[in-house]
Chains A and B, each alone.
Chain A
Amino acid sequence: MSPDTWHILSVFVAFVAVLFVCGIYSILVTRNLLRTVIGIEILIKGVTLLLIVVGYITNQTGLTQSLVITIIVIEVVVMVIAGGIALSMFRNIDSIDTRNLTKLKG
């Protein structure tokens, strides 16, 4: 493997890791439900980017592109459902604060 492909890979991995940290951070820190969903979205973007880079390095761009397309489609649906849950939660208690999501415990 030529040194530069290793170089590209490690740079992208670094930045994907950064994306990963921002996503996790945004999920754990926020008190608003929608920010958590955004956090998940950031994580997905990181993974898609990684997939694309891997495809580029191993010259399997066709395969990785189709995988990415499927992932994006699935994630859209998940986001919609998450939004739906946030909405019905809002309808019940007029707030989407995550602190009310802790009744089931023990």
Chain B
Amino acid sequence: MPSLLVLIPLFGIILLNLPFRRLNEKYVFWFAVFLLSVQILFTISHHSLFWQQGMGYIDSFFKVDFAIDSLSFIMLLCIAIVSMVSLSVSRYTIPDPRERFKFINLLMIAAIGMNGIVITKDLFSLYVFLEITALSSVVLIAFQKDMNALEGAFKYLILSSIATIMMLFSIALILLVSPGTSFAVIAAALKESPNSAVIIFAMGIFICGLFIKGGLVPFHGWLPDAYTAAPSAVSILLAGIVTKVCGIYTAIRVIAFVFGFNEVIKSLFMFIGLFSILIGALAALGQKDLKRLLAYSSISQVGYIILGFGTGTALGMAGAVFHIFNHAVFKSLLFVNAAAVEKRIGSSDLDRMGGLSYRMPITGSTSVIGVLSTCGIPPLAGFWSKLVIIIALWQSGHYMYGTIAVLASILTLAYLLLMQRKAFFGKLPKELENLKDLKEVGPEFTLPSIILAMITISVGVFFPFVFDKFVVPIKSIFMQ
């Protein structure tokens, strides 16, 4: 059943690319929306069936079996939501129907890639789908073919190829000790073979490859350039879900289920997580460009996820996954608003903006919710996931990490308030006054931002129910 998730979009794309072009262009948008809503409904409706399942529903349609457990369900949900948002935003930012046709196809391929990553149980097919997602996002970034876009695309391509080469290198070395490449086989092989330097080298190389894809601090060079270079619809997709699925989800899946946890890896993850929180937040503080600021902010938030995961306790990992979901929601919310602002003003330079919430009230207020949720201010969702991570840190005895992580959210608040003040509050600058169409953006922007804001608020307010239904099953997975 889950493999349909991957197959149906593929056949749909092939079907669409057949000759009668005019017909397809009109319907491609609604076809994509249909597919993604199927995915959302599938994940929501089936959660009761699968949530409690351990390794999940084995589908034997393919020889290489798949595994859907609650962790992948949450990721599937995030992928569907963020792609839907990016789809609706692209409908407005790319006017020309021919371009939009190509764009939606690429978007669907990226979605296929991410779905593949999430449901695969084999290390090598993980590499294959990583490569698919990376490739389609490179093309998506370079979509507008101006110099910036190409620069961002090229950097992303080079860095991700380096990462994949590292992963292949480690797969090769692992094959020395394990007969097959699926997670279970490798895990068994690694468990009983002694901890020799080669295996540790392979593990190290693989983890660093994932860090590059995830954009954590020492490896994060490409991330801000790729996000700012991409067209606004793509930066939503990238920031919202691509880096997290390729980098963070794979790290969680591989470390937790294949390489296994030990103290050294935990402290490595914690250190890298904390380091990226601080550097990401500090770098974001001095930014002049709105999208670049949000890019650094997502590095910092990913740092929290890695920190949460690094505690190794079940609660910490559950908090990390919960934060992935929250971050996907409020980061794409902020990027949707950034896209709306850029569409209206034509540039995302913070100094030329000001007082936009007069003319664009909905964007203004939803971005306030996004800001507060990112900083972890109580009533909203961000607070709860950060709190769970912090409590996990405390329970596992890492007081110093916990204190620094909590106080780092002051930095988050600082640069986001800076952004909010420069962009939305304050006085409307002169040249924006007479801009004729500086009014509220169309429903393509306001609808997703309102929905995302509603999700953040409802998850925040009804946290206890959300916690019982979603986060506790995740804890049970990591329990073994």
Chain A positions near chain B (C-beta within 8 angstroms): 9, 27, 33, 36, 40, 43-44, 47, 50-51, 54-55, 57-58, 60, 63-64, 67, 70-71, 74, 77-78, 81-82, 85, 88-89, 91-93, 100-106
A58, B175: Cβ atoms closer than 8 Å:
yes
Chief secondary structure at chain A's binding surface: helix
Number of interface residues, chain B, beta carbon within 8 A:
40
* In the bound complex, CA of A19 to CA of B145 (Å): 33
A54, B147: Cβ atoms closer than 8 Å:
no
Known contacts: A40-B161, A88-B142. The answer to whether A60 contacts B175 by CB under 8 A is yes
B150 CB contacts on chain A under 8 angstroms:
85, 88-89, 92, 101
Within 8 Å by CB of A40, from B138, B158, B224, lies B158
* In the bound complex, CA of A51 to CA of B224 (Å): 34
A104 CB contacts on chain B under 8 angstroms:
148, 151-152, 224-225, 228-229
Chain B positions near chain A (C-beta within 8 angstroms): 124, 128, 131, 135, 138-139, 142, 145-148, 150-155, 157-158, 161-162, 165, 168-169, 171-173, 175-176, 179-181, 224-225, 228-229, 286-288, 292
A101, B173: Cβ atoms closer than 8 Å:
no
Known contacts A43-B162, A85-B153, A100-B147; 18 additional CB pairs below 8 A are A33-B154, A40-B161, A47-B165, A50-B169, A50-B173, A54-B173, A60-B175, A63-B175, A74-B128, A81-B135, A85-B142, A88-B142, A91-B145, A92-B145, A92-B150, A104-B148, A104-B151, A105-B225
* In the bound complex, CA of A21 to CA of B115 (Å): 35
Most buried by A among B138, B175, B225: B175
Q: In chain B, what residue has the closest Cβ to A88? A: B145
B168, A51: Cβ atoms closer than 8 Å:
yes
* In the bound complex, CA of A74 to CA of B135 (Å): 10
9 A-B pairs with the lowest CB-CB distances in the bound complex, closest first: A104-B225, A47-B168, A50-B172, A101-B151, A51-B172, A89-B150, A43-B165, A88-B145, A54-B175
Q: In chain B, what residue has the closest Cβ to A50? A: B172
B157, A78: Cβ atoms closer than 8 Å:
yes
Within 8 Å by CB of B146, from A64, A92, A105, lies A92
Q: State how many angstroms separate the Cβ of B132 from the closest Cβ of chain A.
A: 8
B229, A85: Cβ atoms closer than 8 Å:
no
Can you list 9 A-B contacts with CB-CB less than 8 angstroms, sorted by A residue number? A51-B172, A57-B176, A58-B176, A63-B181, A74-B131, A77-B135, A85-B150, A88-B145, A101-B151
Q: In chain A, what residue has the closest Cβ to B141? A: A85
B155, A51: Cβ atoms closer than 8 Å:
no
B124 CB contacts on chain A under 8 angstroms:
67, 70
Q: State how many angstroms separate the Cβ of B299 from the closest Cβ of chain A.
A: 14
B169 CB contacts on chain A under 8 angstroms:
47, 50
B172 CB contacts on chain A under 8 angstroms:
47, 50-51, 54
Within 8 Å by CB of B128, from A47, A70, A102, lies A70
